[in-house]
Amino acid sequence: MKGKILTLETDGHENRPAGGALVHRLVNETPASTTRSQFEWLHFCMKHEAVEQYLCHELGIPMFVANAMVAEETRSRTIVRDNGIMVLFKAMHQHDGANPEMMVSLRLWIEPHRIISAREQDIDAVYTLRDEIMAGHGPASTTDFLIDMIDHVYDEFDPLIDAMEIEIDELEELVQREETEAICGRLSALERRAVIFARHLSPQTAIFEIIGASRCPLVSEDDKDHLNELDSRLKGMLEALRDLRDRSAIIDERIQRIEEFRQSKANLVFAIAATLFLPASFLTGLFGANVGGVLWLEHPQGFLLLSIVCLGVMLSSWLLIRRGRWL
C-alpha cells in the first residue's frame, strides 16, 4: 500500500504565510515484514507562530525538542533518548533557482511510529522522500526515514562538489598558462562555496558518532551499519572540500608569484628607461644653460652634434646594461 496524505491542517489564522499550512500529515503504509513500516510523518512550516504551541500541547513532545524545532539559529547536532531521537542538520535549498550556498536547517524528532520534522524554507530532499513514500517504496521504519533523508540531502551535494573539482582543474590549467585575469573571480567564488559547505557539513559527523554509540531501541545494528556508511560518505565529501581549499590556496599563491614577477619586470623596465635617459637629460640640461661659453652654442650644427652625443651616451648605457645581463 502506498503512503497517503490524510489531512492538511492550518493554524486557523487568516494571515498565515503563503505556500504552506501549519502541518502536513503523511502516513506511510509501505509493505514490510513488520509493523515498523507503519508510521506517521508530520511536517511543519516554521513560519507559523503556532508551531511551538502545537508541538507541546497537541503532540506532547518534550519541551527541549519543541524549543529546538523553532529556534532561529541552530547548529547540526543530535540528542538520543529511549523514546526518541532529535536530529538537527543543514540541508540545501535550491527551489526556484536559489543559490546552493543558502543552507537551511531541517529539524527531526524520531519516535517508533511517528516522525516530526520542521523547516523554514523548502528543502528538496523532503519532497524527494515524500514522493517515494507516496509511490509506495518509502523507508521501512522511522530510523530508515532518518537515514534516507540524510542520504537524499547528501545526494544534492555530490554533483556540486564534482562541478567544483572540474572547475579547479580548469583553473589550474589557466594558471599554468598565466592567464590570471580569468581566474581571480572564479577562484574566489569556488573558495567561498567550499568554505560554506564544509562549515555546515563538518558538525554532522558528531550525529553519526552519537547515534552509533547509543543503545536506543529505535536503532538496530543494521541501522548503525547504514549510519556508518553515511558517516563515511560525509567524511569523503569533507576530504574533497579540504582538497579543493588546498588546491585553491596553491593556485592563489601561484597567482601572487606571477603578479609579483610581472610587477618586478615592469619596475625593471622603468628603471632601465630612467637609466638610459638620465645621461641624455643631464647633457640637454647642461647645454641648455643660459650662460656664456656653452659648447657649440654658435656652431651651425650644434643641435645635431648634441643629439649625436646624447644618442651615443644612451647606446653606451644600453650596451652596459646588456653586458651586465640586467635584461
In the chain, pLDDT over 70 holds for what percent of residues?
Answer: 75
Residue 296 pLDDT more than 70? no
Binning pLDDT at 50, 70 and 90, where does residue 78 land?
very high
Mean pLDDT is lowest, of 2-6, 97-101, 234-238, 284-288, for 2-6
What confidence score (pLDDT) does residue 10 get?
39
More confident residue, 188 or 26: 188
pTM, to two decimals? 0.74
**pLDDT value for 97:** 60
- pLDDT at 147 > cutoff 80: yes
pLDDT of 63-77, one tens digit each? 888 888 888 777 889
Closest CA to 19 of 52, 45, 51: 45
3-state secondary structure 272-294: HHHHHHHHHHHHHHHHCCCCCCC
Residues in the chain: 327
pLDDT at 220: 92
- Alpha carbon separation from 299 to 131, 294, 302, 303, 305 (Å, rounded): 101, 10, 5, 9, 9
**pLDDT class for 182, splitting at 50, 70, 90?**
confident
Report pLDDT for 9: 41
Residues 6+ apart with CB under 8 A from 155: 125, 128
Alpha carbon distance 142, 109 (integer Å): 10
**Identity of residue 304:** L
Closest CA to 238 of 246, 168, 210: 246
Higher model confidence: residue 264 or residue 162? 162
Dmax (CA) of the chain = 118
pLDDT of residue 55: 84
Q: What is the pLDDT of residue 287?
A: 63
Residue 233 has pLDDT above 80, yes or no: yes
Which tens digits make up the pLDDT trace of 85-128? 999 998 887 666 667 777 888 999 999 999 999 888 888 888 88
Summary mean pLDDT of the chain: 80
- Phi then psi dihedrals of residue 325, to 5 deg: 55, 40
Of residues 318 and 64, more confidence is placed in 64
Q: Which has more pLDDT, 122 or 318?
A: 122
Q: Which residues contact 306 (CB under 8 A, 6 or more apart)?
A: 283, 284, 287, 296
pLDDT at 84: 92
Residue 1 or residue 314, greater confidence: 314
Of 61 and 308, more confident: 61
pLDDT for 222 equals 94
| Structure confidence at residue 11 (pLDDT) | 39
pLDDT value for 1: 39
Least confident of 126-130, 169-173, 203-207, 316-320: 316-320
- The answer to whether the CB of 119 falls within 8 A of the CB of 106 is yes
Show the domains of the chain with their CATH numbers: 4-257 (3.30.460.20), 266-323 (1.20.58)
> Which band of pLDDT confidence, cut at 50, 70 and 90, is reported for residue 302?
low
